[in-house]
Amino acid sequence: MRTIKFCVYKEAPYYVAQCLNVDVSSFGETVEESIFNLKEAVELHFEDQTEDDYRLVEEVLVGEGLVNA
Gap between the Cα atoms of 6 and 38, Å rounded: 9
The identity of residue 67, as a single letter, is: V
Domains of the chain, with CATH numbers? Answer: 1-69 (3.30.160)
pTM: 0.88
Gap between the Cα atoms of 54 and 68, Å rounded: 34
Handedness of CA 61, 65, 68, 69 (dihedral sign): positive
pLDDT at 49: 78
Note the pLDDT tens digit of each residue in 23-47.
999 999 999 999 999 999 999 999 9
pLDDT at 48: 80
pLDDT at 29: 98
What pairing do the DSSP bridges indicate for beta strands 25-28 and 14-19? Answer: antiparallel
Q: What is the mean pLDDT of the chain?
A: 94
